[in-house]
Amino acid sequence: MVSRPIVGQVNALSFVLLVLVAALLVSQIATRRRLTAAERAAGAELARAAPSAADSVVAAAAAKAPIGIVVRDKAGDLVFQNDVAADYLASTVDSAVLAMRLRSLLDEAHGFDEDIEQQVELFSPSPRTIQLQAVPLFTYGERVGTAGFIEDLTTRSQIDSIRSDFIANASHELKTPLGAMRLLAEALVATDDPEVQRDVAAKISSEASRMNRLVEDILDLAEIESSSSQPEDIDLSEVATVAVAKSRSLAEALGITVRVSVESVRVAGDRGQLTSAVANIVENALNYTAAKGMPDPLPVDLRIWEEPGRAIVEVKDHGIGIPERHQERIFERFYRVDRGRSRASGGTGLGLAIVRNVVKNHAGEVEIESVPGEGSTFRIVLPTQEK
Ligand code: ADP
């Protein structure tokens, strides 16, 4: 009974406190709003008062731009040129051609108030495609000058041409089994002979597997090329065990032994990628040993060891070997020394391209030693982890 008024007093006190705190908060919010508005006004004033500060920031950025930039004023006089542009326009014969073209583009852009682009092919010291662009500059509708941009498109056009080559090659590779499957299906429809039917069906299945392998390799390659996985701590001897297990049924079918002698060596990397690279090399060693057609083929040796700062994975075979002139090119996508032989062994022509990309992702190198008729040794060299 006595406590009630006290509760009432406390409630009244809390209410007053609450109102005070709310008022304080509102006033703070309002102050903050006013301050922000004031700050904005001050900033705008500053920006109006000191355009040269903004100009110098823009000029500093333009000086660091990765493309060449040249700026002329209203009268056509050069007022700015960054280092990249100066390099392009330095005094070589090609640069003189470039400077001449750029000058006439800037004149045109100035005369016609239009953006103009042109690509120039240069041939010295190496073939290059340079894009020139000239744009008239306006501020508040008033012409203030013209700018020229110089950009080397060589790498970009090389990438475009590699990409379109790859699409053409992959389509061609896919068309071959697809065409075979269509013909086989027609043959299947045309026959009543159960034995022929069985034979044709088996061929269709084999062509379908070839297509499947090809698509899987294309997807693997795409994933490896765009990979940005976090490196893990990997024991290469475990990678070797999985890679050899993957090739076991092929080794058994071909009657070739894989001898494994591996140390436990640790590297930082992607376990799946490294396993796929080692398995591809082991499978090639088996296939191209079998291709020699020996009644009693010699084994394939897989060794892993460590040297200061590097791990070495070596696969040695006594197969058909690779002529020297092909050794550089076998890492290209779809490149084969002997197309018929690769096809017979079920190869997709992408195995070593996968190996090359995996090794590149691991900051390593692939080495090859091969003598036609005697055999090949592939070595993957990877940097080891700091101890
Ligand atoms: P494929 O699927 O045709 O084997 P790869 O990219 O794995 O494609 O290899 C490219 C080519 O390199 C093969 O077609 C073959 O001519 C050659 N090659 C690769 N490994 C060996 C090897 N161990 N012995 C002989 N030739 C090899």
CA distance 41 to 238: 66
Name residue 315's beta-bridge partners: 302, 378
Q: Measure the CA–CA gap between 119 and 130, rounded to whole angstroms.
A: 6
Q: Is the CB of 336 under 6 A from ligand 1?
A: yes
Q: Rg for the chain (alpha carbons), in Å?
A: 35
Helices 194-225 + 271-290 axis angle, to 10: 140
Burial class for 148, CB neighbours closer than 10 Å (0-12, 13-18, 19+): buried
User: Which pLDDT value is given to residue 91?
Assistant: 58
pLDDT at 141: 81
Pairing of the two strands 232-235 and 266-269: antiparallel
Residue 342 Cα to ligand 1 middle (Å): 7
What is the pLDDT at residue 12? Answer: 43
Distance CA 282, CA 258 (A): 8
Regarding beta strands 300-307 and 310-316, do their DSSP bridges make them parallel or antiparallel, or are they unpaired?
Answer: antiparallel
Name the burial class of residue 87, with classes exposed (0-12), middle (13-18) and buried (19+) by CB atoms within 10 angstroms of its CB.
exposed
Q: Pick the atom of ligand 1 nearest to 349's CA.
A: 8
Helices (H), the chain: 3-49, 51-64, 83-88, 93-112, 154-190, 194-225, 236-246, 248-254, 271-290, 324-327, 339-344, 351-361
Using an 8 Å Cβ cutoff, are 278 and 301 in contact?
no
C-beta neighbour count of 57 within 10 angstroms: 10
Which residue among 294, 328, 330 is best mutated to probe the pocket of ligand 1, counting the most ligand atoms within 8 A of its Cβ?
330
Which numbered atom of ligand 1 lies nearest the CA of 321? 25
Tell how far the Cα of 348 is from the centroid of ligand 1, in angstroms: 9
- Name the residue of 209, 301, 342 to mutate for ligand 1: max ligand atoms within 8 A of Cβ: 342
Per-residue pLDDT of the chain (387 residues; tens, 9 = 90+): 333 333 334 344 444 333 333 333 333 332 233 334 444 444 344 344 445 666 778 888 888 888 999 999 989 899 999 999 988 888 566 778 888 899 999 988 888 878 899 988 888 777 888 999 999 998 888 889 999 999 988 888 788 888 888 888 899 889 989 999 999 999 999 999 999 999 999 999 999 999 999 999 999 998 898 877 789 999 999 999 999 999 999 999 999 999 999 999 999 999 999 999 999 999 999 999 999 999 999 999 999 999 999 999 999 999 999 999 999 999 999 999 988 878 777 889 999 999 999 999 999 999 999 999 999 999 999 999 765
DSSP-derived letter for residue 337 is S
CB-ligand 1 contact for 284 (6 Å cutoff): yes
For the CA atoms of 341, 347, 349, 352, the dihedral, rounded to the nearest 10 degrees, stands at -110
- Predicted TM-score of the model (pTM): 0.67
Residues 6+ apart with CB under 8 A from 46: none
Q: How far is the CA of 257 from the centre of ligand 1 (A)?
A: 19
Classify residue 140 as left (phi > 0), alpha (psi -120 to 50) or beta. Answer: left
Does the Cβ of 173 fall within 6 Å of ligand 1? no
Structural domains in the chain? 12-152 (3.30.450.20), 156-226 (1.10.287.130), 229-387 (3.30.565.10)
* Pairing status of strand 310-316 against strand 375-383: antiparallel
Q: Give the residue carrying structure tokens 């990249």.
A: 84
Residue the block writes with tokens 């073209």: 101
- What would the 3-class secondary structure string for 277-316 be? HHHHHHHHHHHHHHCCCCCCCCCEEEEEEEECCEEEEEEE
Q: Specify whether the CB–CB gap between 321 and 373 falls below 8 A.
A: yes
Annotate 182-230 with DSSP letters as a single string: HHHHHHHHH---HHHHHHHHHHHHHHHHHHHHHHHHHHHHHHHHT--PP
